[in-house]
Each structure stands twice: as C-alpha cells, then as structure tokens.
Amino acid sequence: MATITLTISALPAHVRTARLMAATVARRAGIAASAIDEIRLAVGEACSRAVAAHKLHCPTQPILLQLIDGSGPDPASESRTDATSSILRANGSATQRFEVVVSDRAPAKDTEETATPSLLDGLFLDGEDTPPGGISGFSPGLGLAVITGLADEVKIDPSDRGTVVRMSWPLATEHSPDPSSN
C-alpha cells in the first residue's frame, strides 16, 4: 500500500492539481478506466468545498489530500502511532480499495449538514457568488451530495476542528476487462 500526501493552499487553482494527482494515482493503483472521471469529479468537489470553507475561516491553513493505494499491505502505517494513522485507513479496508481523504481545518458551521440533504432543502443560495468549482446559486451541500453519488464509499466527519471527507473505490480485478481496450 502506498500513500501519497498532498498539501494545498486554499486557492481554487490548486483544486485542478488535486484532481490531476488523484486521477494519476488512481490509474497507477489499478482503478478501472471507467471510474477515473468519477474520482476526478469527486476529488474536485471535496477540494472545492474545502477551499471555500478555508477562504472564509482560515485562509492561511493548508488543506490535506491523501491518496491511498490499497492494493497491498503498508508496513509504514502499521508502525504509526501519531494522530494521522486513523486518517490513513479511511474506510477500514486494507486491500483492494483506492481511497482519497480530504481534510480541512475550517470549523464546520453546521454540523448537521449531511451528505444526503433533501432535494431542495439548503441547496440554493441567495445572491452568493459561484463557489469554486460549483454551480452558481447552489450551496456547498450540493457538492457533498454529488460526492456521495460518485464514490463507492463515502464518510463525512464534520467537527469544530475541520471536516474530513473520505471516499473510496474498488480496484479493478484482474478478471474484469478494461472497457477502453475494446
């Protein structure tokens, strides 16, 4: 298992870098070609949400992105005893998953915000600017709903110390054909 950690500033331009890194690492990890665009979009939504939150609450703090190739054991994470060891094991699966963890340090304004808001409740903003990577007039809660639809597994942990968005996708098995090779 390999873990790549990327720290980005709260700038919308860095969201593109995060999306490109996630797609590259996912491809290297063995993710099916059909899932690469979903990963790119989900990572873009998670990072855009984090950038928008940081711009309001803590613009000088970095956003942490972890890309975890779960195709094998990671002896380094087994020997970890620091606080990041729990973040590295995003969904508890040690093998056959590609995981992305986006951690911000902006306090969650509303800890009741969930990844599955009702269809119209809280989705529209009145007179707000377009969020980075978002759709004009829609709230960041919509981005969390989009992530839930794109990732195979999602866990969102908001707190006063920040929000952690954990996403994972299954690695392609050796027996499943790659649709792009036809």
The verdict on residue 112 lying in a domain is yes
Domain housing 40? 2-78+86-173
Q: Give the model's pLDDT for residue 39.
A: 96
Residue 62 lies in a domain: yes
Domain count, the chain: 1
Read off the pLDDT of residues 63-96 as tens digits, 9 standing for 90 and up: 999 999 876 654 444 444 443 333 334 444 444 8
**24-46 per-position pLDDT tens digit:** 999 999 898 989 999 999 999 99
Estimate to the nearest angstrom the gap between the alpha carbon of 74 and the chain centroid: 21
pLDDT in the model for residue 137 = 46
Is 61 within a domain? yes
Work out the mean pLDDT of the chain and round it to a whole number.
74
- Structural domain includes residue 179: no
- For residue 72, give the CATH number of its domain: 3.30.565.10
Give the pTM: 0.69
Residues 113-146: tens digit of each pLDDT: 433 343 334 444 443 444 444 444 455 567 788 8
Percent of the chain with pLDDT over 70: 62
178 in a domain, yes or no? no
